[in-house]
Amino acid sequence: MKKILILKAGSSFLELKTQKGDFEDWIIAASGKSSKHFKVLPIDQINSLHLDQKPFAAVLITGSHDNITDNPPYLQNTYTLLKKLREQMVPILGICFGHQLLAAAFGGRVTNLKKGPEFGAVKIKKTSQAQNDRLFAFLPQEFWAFMSHQQTVQKLPPKAITLASSPKDQNAAFYLEPNIWGVQFHPEFDQQIMAFYLKHHFNISDKEAKSLLLPCPQASAVIPQFLEKVL
């Protein structure tokens, strides 16, 4: 069976990695699958890939502490890879930075959030177009998800469909044919991970953080649901 590629766009904080592992570990844990089903590739090593006809069963793109608007050096090579994967009809799910990366690769635009960073447990609302989406149909009309971002997909790629919004982000999730999804929220985060980001990334006190750490079981199901639908 072909492996699932995790395109590792960045790393988390060293202290958190020591406690909980890194982005790719959280994705694998959330998937419910053994690590043997996955290949992890740092984004700056994509030139090592030799793409035959549909080399991977699916691709997941991690978050990152980088900003798209800073034009990191790996961007153009990554865009080329994503376009090739789309031509091969490989299913892709981008998470947070990965969501923004997909949008930018296919003609969308990423900017800073106008209302400031969005973090903690946030209520996500589905659009009417999400009701019949293969990935989003199982989710309730409103659900809680962990957010940790200061940039947004301000403009979707041509022909992309908005699947969900949040209080600060009108494009909190999107779909692009034939089988590409982006989610600005973090289905791989648990409460411990989110608590760490609130304290160390957003400088939120422990007292303030309590109201931002609601359980997010529906969002957590997005990764296994993605793999179930596309494999």
The residue from 96, 99, 118, 216 that is catalytic is 96
CA distance 171 to 154: 7
Quick check: is 96 catalytic? yes
Quick check: is 201 catalytic? no
Which of helix, strand or coil describes residue 223? helix
CA distance 118 to 223: 21
Cα–Cα nearest to 9, from 75, 69, 63, 59 = 63
> Which residues have a Cβ under 8 Å from the Cβ of 190 and sit 6 or more positions away?
26, 220
Quick check: is 37 catalytic? no
The residue from 24, 118, 149, 188 that is catalytic is 188
Cα–Cα nearest to 114, from 149, 160, 75 = 149
Q: Pinpoint the alpha helices (H) of 139-189.
A: none
The residue from 24, 99, 118, 186 that is catalytic is 186
Find out whether 101 and 61 touch, Cβ atoms under 8 Å: yes
The residue count for the chain: 231
CA distance 67 to 207: 29
Q: Which residues are catalytic?
A: 96, 186, 188
